[in-house]
Structure 1
Amino acid sequence: MQDKMNVQDNNSDLDPLQSVLIDPHRSRLNRLRTFLDPGKLTSAVSRALADAKTAISDRLNRPDAAGAESTIAHNPNDWDLARLRTLIGQELAGSDVIIVSNREPYIHSAGPDGIRCAIPAGGLVSALEPIARGCGGTWIAHGSGSADRETVDDQDRIQVPPDNPSYALRRVWLSPEEEKGYYLGFANEGLWPLCHNAFVRPIFREDDWNHYKTVNARFADAVIEEARTEAPIVIVQDYHFSLLPRMIRERLPNATIVTFWHIPWPNAEVFGICPHATEILDGMLGSDIIGFQVPLFRINFVECIDRTLESRINHENWSVRYGGKTSQVRTYPISIAWPDQPLRTAISSPTAREALGIKPGAKLILAVGRLDYTKGIPEFLQAFEDLLTQHPEHCGRVHLYYVAAPSRGEVTSYRTLHKDCLRISQAINDRFGTEDYKPLLFADRHADRDELSRLYREADVCVVPSLHDGMNLVAKEFVAEREDEQGVLILSRFAGAIQELPEALAVNPFDLSKLTATLRAALKMPRTEQTERMRRMRETVRSKNIYRWAGRLLEDAAHVRARNQLLRRGAQTQDRLARAPLRSPSEISLRKTTRKNDAETPGS
């Protein structure tokens, strides 16, 4: 029988009362225990009321939308790159830090003009590279570039960044069969749809599972080879490496291992579909810290452990005792780096609108995301068509620009989705388009950072219609770029970002009628209301940035490492005392007498 404690957690995101109310999966016995203990219930209610009072006071003390300055004041306690570097210098100076991810921070590709080095798109690199640079550590990743092999040394390493080398990139090579089985197969045809509760059936092939295990073992070998000490800090990224923490733990028992799971974690019933659920949970519990985006994913993960493994779960501090070791389960909502350019009072010149052929005065709705079935693209396109059908006054006056970067084209479900989106887009344009009006521009390509920045600044509405998302950084990118404090964000309530951005217009992307109505409301929102909502969202994104994410994760890792070092020293002391021979009182008295006589003897 597992031993659970459901008491107030000062350091967790949810107190027991909140957990009981929102967690229908927690065992009835534990819920009953909480409510039968008056002291705990009273404490939970008191803390909840105090938190609510603080939050309300916080809101009331914010500047008014109408009278406040548009510039966001800098708080010296905010996280930025300088503070992160200070933390690394204080807590991790000289530490052996190893980062493991599927995607590499620098890719070398061969072209007609020679070898070109590029930084992949996404928030992962911007989040983790300051850690690697500050610690002078090692980043282990799959070498996927066409010229990656040509640029490494005989140990598959290359010093990066190219202009100022400060850490080592260790590349791991995969065969086409391994990449297909591990990455496209088990990770993205199995775990990806499983964890996103997508209406795409997860596929679990035994060959894919074997490749997944093989690749995880190969990355474990790389970690062991790159470790300079017996107790490195290893930061493991995402669902590609659920088995890796246990593999590292077995060979480096004193390592401090942190695993961050970027995507959602499903409830126990859904996760139980996976035929390798036990092995995955066992693998992840090789970590000292397991991080998730939002509290619900943490709750789901702990519930999966409860139903699958013989363990001891402590809800007071969100820890799991399993196999003689304790793992902390934490939440670290990932974010973006706040733009470092000076704030402007107006948006840039409308070059993006001109390039899209949008007439002055017309409204621009923007959506950005990977071409993925979890992003709700067909559903949103249908809602846009319904908007034009039900409100024909918007025809000729509203444009939708959807930037959908192709992804995983080798997977059948992704190819089918791509074709469906193109077909729906063409049908909308055929129905509502004219010689000088094209309502829908569907760009199935990658857009660079500068192009996206211009689009974010010039869009009237930005829509994130995800069916399920761990966080979704597009929402935060849009907010960060709106220095004019205008624009409306429509955000799926199934995206993790909605918990940090309640000022967005929350929608259920499965409810097309409500999505259509929300689109219309966004197009008609007064500028004063746009300013009020956007100002508060910008405050949140600025303060809860990517450096805060990395800093909190590193602080917890440093504390866990320090605690484990103390425990190891204590165990060593106890072991040394236990091995020392025991002496009787008469032997101790005789030894003292002998030493006294020796001291009194002349010439001794």
Structure 2
Amino acid sequence: MDTPRVRHTADQETEFLVVANRLPVHLEAHGTAEPRWQRSPGGLVSALEPILRARRGAWVGWAGTTGDTPVAFHDPDLRLHPVPLNESEYRDYYEGFSNATLWPLFHDAVAPPEFKQAWWQSYRQVNQRFAEHTAAVAAPGATVWIQDYQLMLVPALLRERRPDVRIGFFLHIPFPPPELFLQLPWRTEVVDGLLGADLVGFQLPGGARNFLQLVRRLHRGESVAGGQPTPVLGTVRLPGRTVRAGAFPISIDTAGLEALAHSEAVRERAQRIRHRLGGSRKIMLGVDRLDYTKGIDQRLRAFEGLLAKNRITAQDTVLVQIATPSRERVEHYRRQRARVEAQVGRINGTFGQVGRVPVHYLHTTVDRTELAALYQAADVMLVTPLRDGMNLVAKEFVAARPDLGGALVLSEFAGAAHELPQALLVNPHHLSELEDTMAAALDLEERERRHRMRELRRHVRERDVHHWARSFLSALSEGGHGAVPGESEIPARRTIVA
């Protein structure tokens, strides 16, 4: 598919835009009926949609279909601009370079990344199309906030077309150490793409430092120590402008989820869930995309270990595992699903009884009301990824527990662990430690459980998604358009202040 020629018209201009791989809605077919727009699942949509609606902005993204792409349309308080992808681009840009090259590379190579030239060419082509669509609808001087690893070339490509706009980029997944990133054959091109932004944001300070070290190594810039306050941790000085890098931990719409948790529908549904699972049984809950980085395998092995050692039984404890379908045409994900479902079958076959299976496994997408009810029904929430940029499920569970009930078991390799130290932190690679922590969570004394949850809720309330957005956009605004006084004094090479 050739890059479309998108005309810039005044009635399309928007002063605040989010650019992401996917729109917050997608076309979904229902039998023979016409496809309908449905809200898309996922943490990025949950985090960004309320911010964009509050600012009456626009969202540029793929509509989730490789057929005919609809024209721009309005959702309440939000203008949506679909970007077309054909089948080969979906395969090579999305399934290939984004999710079989970048995703595993950025998650500590938990699975080996694949490097294919055809995938890279498609990634570059699709990023160019996103940049052109964004340039066409951004008002003069607009603020454009580009999201995540699928679009890391867009900042520089957009700047070439629209040097008047202010550009922010936020990475939702971890940014790896330079030694790992340098494996990428197109490492310089990707870094230069990010340097098109005025502000590059990461979940944690470590990600920002990794990025600054990487720029230093790739461009042999001069390092100058000193004094950048958080959240902005360092600056790359370019000819005519600066690029700043910092840490901005993402969060959730806490107030919205709390209101949902207080609703009669959620409370009644939570009671029905508890009753159907056995009333007095303790409920452990996992809610994850079916992804090899989420630690579902390790979680199931630890749960199986507790059963095998008779520390729990199918009579007193049940694990509910929601595994949202994800990237099912990618080979790593097909193998992951087969492994998980085999584990569930083995556990239930070995330790189950008539009417009492120890694992309830659902390979499905769950709506927000059902999810809030599951959070309220759970005695223990298991969030045990091997590597995760943040993990909003941990924060959602906390927000959904105004009763101060439930214990949170949280991997120390999730970004959320840096913000939620009152959770029961665990190394999911250490199976005996994971078993012990899960058992401790089941037996946690009520006074300690309530104290931990009270502290967790305080943080999630104070640092919600609106705080995240204000923090990032304020830093982006403070950076201006990247103009640097005394431009002639700036050396042509990049200089990093970190």
**Structure 1 length normalisation: TM-score?**
0.73
Once the two structures are superposed, residues 135-185 of structure 1 have per-residue CA deviations (whole angstroms, 9 ceiling, x without a partner) of 443321112248873xx4xxx311223xxxx34211111111011111110
Deviation of residue 110 (structure 1)?
Answer: 4.0
- For the residues of structure 2 that align with 1:290 and 1:338, how far apart are their CA atoms? 25
Q: 1:434 to 1:134 in 2, by over 3 A?
A: closer
- For the residues of structure 2 that align with 1:180 and 1:146, how far apart are their CA atoms? 10
- Identify the residue that residue 153 of structure 2 maps to in structure 1: 243
Deviation of residue 122 (structure 1)?
Answer: 2.3
8 Å CA contact 1:311–1:322 kept in 2: the answer is no
Please tell me whether residue 487 in structure 1 is matched to residue 406 in structure 2: yes
Please tell me whether residue 294 in structure 1 is matched to residue 204 in structure 2: yes
Q: 1:138 to 1:510 in 2, by over 3 A?
A: same
- Identify the residue that residue 60 of structure 1 maps to in structure 2: none
- Identify the residue that residue 325 of structure 1 maps to in structure 2: 241
- Identify the residue that residue 105 of structure 1 maps to in structure 2: 24
Q: 1:198 to 1:465 in 2, by over 3 A?
A: farther
8 Å CA contact 1:336–1:546 kept in 2: the answer is yes
Give the residue type in structure 2 aligned to 1:421: V
Q: 1:483 to 1:132 in 2, by over 3 A?
A: closer
- Identify the residue that residue 338 of structure 1 maps to in structure 2: 254
Tell me which protein shows more helix as a share of its residues.
1
Question: Superposed, which structure 2 residues align to 1:269-284 within 5 Å?
Answer: 269-284=179-194
- For the residues of structure 1 that align with 2:90 and 2:57, how far apart are their CA atoms? 26
Deviation of residue 264 (structure 1)?
Answer: 0.2
Deviation of residue 234 (structure 1)?
Answer: 1.3
Q: Which runs of 5+ in 1 are unaligned?
A: 1-93, 573-604
- For the residues of structure 2 that align with 1:451 and 1:343, how far apart are their CA atoms? 10
8 Å CA contact 1:312–1:320 kept in 2: the answer is no
- Identify the residue that residue 113 of structure 2 maps to in structure 1: 202
Once the two structures are superposed, residues 326-358 of structure 1 have per-residue CA deviations (whole angstroms, 9 ceiling, x without a partner) of 111011111110134288699924656547832
Tell me which protein shows more strand as a share of its residues.
2
- For the residues of structure 2 that align with 1:333 and 1:463, how far apart are their CA atoms? 21
8 Å CA contact 1:127–1:550 kept in 2: the answer is no
Q: 1:385 to 1:343 in 2, by over 3 A?
A: closer
Q: 1:393 to 1:479 in 2, by over 3 A?
A: closer
8 Å CA contact 1:110–1:146 kept in 2: the answer is no
- Identify the residue that residue 316 of structure 1 maps to in structure 2: 227
- Identify the residue that residue 170 of structure 1 maps to in structure 2: 81
Please tell me whether residue 505 in structure 1 is matched to residue 424 in structure 2: yes
Give the residue type in structure 2 aligned to 1:407: S
Please tell me whether residue 116 in structure 1 is matched to residue 36 in structure 2: yes
- For the residues of structure 2 that align with 1:450 and 1:345, how far apart are their CA atoms? 9
Q: Report SS of the residue matched to 2:442.
A: helix
- Identify the residue that residue 52 of structure 2 maps to in structure 1: 132
- For the residues of structure 2 that align with 1:411 and 1:288, how far apart are their CA atoms? 34
Question: Which segment drifts farther, 448-457 or 299-308?
Answer: 299-308
Q: 1:519 to 1:571 in 2, by over 3 A?
A: closer
Once the two structures are superposed, residues 249-286 of structure 1 have per-residue CA deviations (whole angstroms, 9 ceiling, x without a partner) of 12222321100000001101111111111111111011
Q: Report SS of the residue matched to 1:182.
A: helix
Deviation of residue 421 (structure 1)?
Answer: 0.6
Give the residue type in structure 1 aligned to 2:132: D
Please tell me whether residue 158 in structure 1 is matched to residue 73 in structure 2: yes
Question: Superposed, which structure 2 residues align to 1:6-405 within 5 Å?
Answer: 96-111=15-30, 112-145=32-65, 149=69, 152=70, 156-161=71-76, 166-229=77-140, 231-314=141-224, 315-317=226-228, 318-340=234-256, 341=259, 348-349=267-268, 351=270, 354=273, 357-405=276-324
Q: Report SS of the residue matched to 1:171.
A: strand
Deviation of residue 366 (structure 1)?
Answer: 0.4
Please tell me whether residue 434 in structure 1 is matched to residue 345 in structure 2: no
Q: Report SS of the residue matched to 2:305.
A: helix
Deviation of residue 370 (structure 1)?
Answer: 0.3
- For the residues of structure 1 that align with 2:22 and 2:299, how far apart are their CA atoms? 29
Q: 1:313 to 1:283 in 2, by over 3 A?
A: farther
Greater RCO, 1 or 2 (C-alpha within 8 Å, sep 6+): 2
- For the residues of structure 2 that align with 1:196 and 1:284, how far apart are their CA atoms? 19
Once the two structures are superposed, residues 294-333 of structure 1 have per-residue CA deviations (whole angstroms, 9 ceiling, x without a partner) of 1111111111112112334455321112354311101111
- Identify the residue that residue 453 of structure 1 maps to in structure 2: 372
- For the residues of structure 2 that align with 1:560 and 1:134, how far apart are their CA atoms? 23
8 Å CA contact 2:66–2:84 kept in 1: the answer is no
Give the residue type in structure 2 aligned to 1:171: P
Question: Which segment drifts farther, 259-268 or 385-394?
Answer: 385-394
Deviation of residue 134 (structure 1)?
Answer: 4.3
Give the residue type in structure 2 aligned to 1:157: A
Q: Which runs of 5+ in 2 are unaligned?
A: 1-12, 229-233, 489-498
Deviation of residue 243 (structure 1)?
Answer: 0.8
Q: 1:361 to 1:102 in 2, by over 3 A?
A: same
Deviation of residue 431 (structure 1)?
Answer: 0.9
Spell out structure 1 runs of 4+ moving beyond 6 A. Answer: none
Question: Superposed, which structure 2 residues align to 1:495-534 within 5 Å?
Answer: 495-534=414-453
Q: 1:104 to 1:345 in 2, by over 3 A?
A: closer
- Identify the residue that residue 602 of structure 1 maps to in structure 2: none
- For the residues of structure 1 that align with 2:376 and 2:44, how far apart are their CA atoms? 23
**Which is greater in Rg?**
1
Give the residue type in structure 1 aligned to 2:138: A
- For the residues of structure 1 that align with 2:312 and 2:133, how far apart are their CA atoms? 61
Once the two structures are superposed, residues 528-551 of structure 1 have per-residue CA deviations (whole angstroms, 9 ceiling, x without a partner) of 111000000001001100011111
8 Å CA contact 2:166–2:481 kept in 1: the answer is no
- For the residues of structure 1 that align with 2:418 and 2:314, how far apart are their CA atoms? 34
Aligned-pair Cα RMSD in Å = 2.4
Question: Which segment drifts farther, 552-561 or 430-439?
Answer: 552-561
Deviation of residue 125 (structure 1)?
Answer: 2.7
- For the residues of structure 1 that align with 2:387 and 2:445, how far apart are their CA atoms? 30
Q: Report SS of the residue matched to 2:293.
A: helix
Q: 1:312 to 1:224 in 2, by over 3 A?
A: farther
Question: Which segment drifts farther, 533-542 or 343-352?
Answer: 343-352
- For the residues of structure 1 that align with 2:390 and 2:49, how far apart are their CA atoms? 20
